[in-house]
Amino acid sequence: MKTIQAYRFALDLTSRQERDLLAHAGAARVAHNWALAKVKAVMDQRSAERSYGVPDELLTPSLHWSLAGLRKAWNAAKPVVAPWWGEVSKEAFNTGLDALARGLRNWVDSREGARAGRPVGFPRFKSRRRTTPSVRFTTGAIRVEPDRQHVVLPRLGRLKLHESARRLARRLDNGTARIMSATVRRDGGRWHVAFCVEVERADRRPIRPQSVVGVDVGITHLAVLSTGELVPNPRHLADAQQRMRSLGRSLSRRIGPDRRTGRRPSKRWERVAARLGRAHARVANLRRDGLHKLTTRLAREHGTIVVEDLNVAGMLRNRRLARHIADAGFAEIRQQLTYKTSWNGGRLVVVDRWYPSSKTCSGCGAVKAKLALSEREYECQACGLLLDRDRNAARNLAALAAEYDTAGSGPVAARGADQKTRVRGRVALKREPGTASTGQTGTVLPRGRTTNRVLTKAH
């Protein structure tokens, strides 16, 4: 099975190498801003000519928004716009132009309704101080050195890694991996290189192929499994909040940049800003590490994993819980489980967001009309079941896996969770197109509900 996988390594750069990388990132920003200004100028000119009644065939020639069209215009103008263009790799300019082409395409698709999610705005100019330095290489000499402690990139030469690249080097030596591109980016004060690799993965099976586990994510516990296991929520952001507030107050007392007057920040402001950036990066790294360990263990051990299709964007509108929800990383858990189950030969079943997993009794199937967020224990009035509400929800999710095996489509067990729910037959589950016997992703679909109201799941 061929998959696209990323390998990310930290770099230990010299001062000269860091200056070269900043020059490449600056070249990408210059190409992006020039092309964006060109696109806007052509659009404004054609709009003005139309207002004067100029026929379409006599309008200023349009500029093609594809990467090839932007690159052609840049190559014609770069001797004048950037006479130093020969000092950096051509991939630096290609990085900025490709980012603009993708931004314009996303904007067009969003306007035409071909792109899901929130509306995408028109691309904006990149600032030298606010933009994260990044450059992507797709051609040229991109390789890992035999000592596995160095990598070679075009025009940058030999760069030292902070850690060994043996995991990637083994696949490259065995012929089961092919490097497609390399992206160098500064994140939290440290430079990283990420290799986009096409990997030939061997077919694998979970340790317990017949095991079914329901995963209910929350704030009190990061995840509650139907097996009874409680995964604690580490709350990395809350632990670092005091230090971040202290650094923020210290930063506010320094002389920072002012865009209106063109004032440059002081050295003390830059040092504190770097410390604050490293604090944020540490929280992100801790969160990423914990989520990867959890999802990898679940995907390797269980054959079927059942999760909910949570409306995380709607949940973040709750101003009292938004910080804790963002710190937990609900969306990242589902994203990682999606590809890790396919890598390990398992399957992921995604339950529709309208299914009342917390309101349904896992013992008798009775459904409560209302369940307040403060009620942490689920007490069934029909059968007398008394259980932790998150564990009850996880059991309900695990029970839906049997419906997925037997139902392809059919009646529905539940309506929306925003009103009194009536049980009507069985749950209808639909297999997403293109799934096979392994690595499947299913979706529990409700009948008769097409509303997009934003609800916050009570956990």
Question: What is the H or E stretch that residue 202 is in?
Answer: none
209-233+285-444 belongs to which CATH class? alpha beta
Give the per-residue pLDDT at 450. 35
Percent helix, percent strand, percent coil in the chain, to nearest 5: 40, 20, 40
175 backbone φψ class: left, alpha, beta (φ>0; ψ -120 to 50): left
Give 397's contacts (C-beta < 8 A, 6+ positions apart). Answer: 214, 215, 216, 226, 306, 307, 308, 351, 357
CA 245, CA 212: separation in Å to the nearest integer? 43
What is the pLDDT tens value at each position of the chain, 459 positions in all? 889 999 999 999 999 999 999 999 999 999 999 999 999 999 999 999 999 999 988 888 989 999 999 999 999 999 999 999 999 999 999 999 999 999 999 999 999 999 988 899 999 999 988 899 999 999 989 999 999 999 999 999 999 999 999 999 999 999 999 999 999 999 888 999 999 999 998 889 999 999 999 999 999 899 999 998 999 999 999 999 999 999 999 999 999 998 889 899 999 999 999 999 999 999 999 999 999 999 999 999 999 999 998 888 888 888 888 999 999 999 999 999 999 999 999 999 998 888 888 888 988 888 888 888 888 888 888 888 888 888 999 999 998 887 766 554 332 333 334 443 344 443 434 334 344 334 444 444 433 333 333 333 434
Query: Cα dihedral angle (82, 84, 88, 91), rounded to 10 degrees?
Result: 20
CA 432, CA 444: separation in Å to the nearest integer? 10
Question: What is the H or E stretch that residue 134 is in?
Answer: strand 134-137
Helix (H, G, I), strand (E, B) or coil at 216: strand
Question: What is the H or E stretch that residue 255 is in?
Answer: none
DSSP secondary structure code for residue 260 in this structure: T
Give the per-residue pLDDT at 404. 67
What the block records as the tokens of 133 is 């330095």
Pairing of strands 2-12, 190-200: antiparallel
CA 242, CA 248: separation in Å to the nearest integer? 10
CA 224, CA 389: separation in Å to the nearest integer? 10
Give the per-residue pLDDT at 118. 85
Give 80's contacts (C-beta < 8 A, 6+ positions apart). Answer: none
Token match 């004067």: residue? 52
What is the edge-to-edge ordering of all strands in the sheet holding 190-200?
A: 134-137, 177-187, 190-200, 2-12, 157-161, 150-153, 143-144
Give the per-residue pLDDT at 431. 39
Q: Which of 241, 215, 238, 240 is nearest to 226 (CA)?
A: 215
CA 275, CA 257: separation in Å to the nearest integer? 17
CA 255, CA 268: separation in Å to the nearest integer? 8
State residue 121 phi and psi, 5-degree precision.
-80, 170
Contact criterion met (CB below 8 Å) for 170 and 122: no
Q: Which of 137, 59, 146 is nearest to 94 (CA)?
A: 137
Q: Which of 404, 410, 409, 411 is nearest to 437 (CA)?
A: 404
Whole-prediction pTM: 0.81
Q: 258 forms bridges with which residues in the sheet?
A: 263
Contacts 24+ apart (CB under 8 A), 448-454: 448/412, 448/415, 449/354, 449/415, 449/416, 451/416, 453/416, 453/418, 454/311, 454/313, 454/314, 454/317
Contact criterion met (CB below 8 Å) for 301 and 340: no
Q: Report the first-to-last Cα separation within the chain, whole angstroms.
A: 38
CA 251, CA 271: separation in Å to the nearest integer? 9
Give the per-residue pLDDT at 107. 95
As separate numbers, helices (DSSP H) first and strands (DSSP E) second, the chain gives: 10, 16
CA 134, CA 92: separation in Å to the nearest integer? 9
Q: In the chain, what are the domain boundaries?
A: 2-15+133-200, 22-112, 209-233+285-444
Within its chain, how far is the Cα of 76 from the centroid?
A: 36
Active-site positions read 216, 308, 390
Residue 249 vs residues 255, 293, 327: alpha-carbon distances, Å: 12, 34, 22
DSSP secondary structure code for residue 5 in this structure: E
**Count of Cβ atoms closer than 10 Å to residue 216 Cβ:** 27
What value, to the nearest 5°, has the Cα angle with vertex 416 and ends 414 and 418? 135
Token match 């902070």: residue? 162
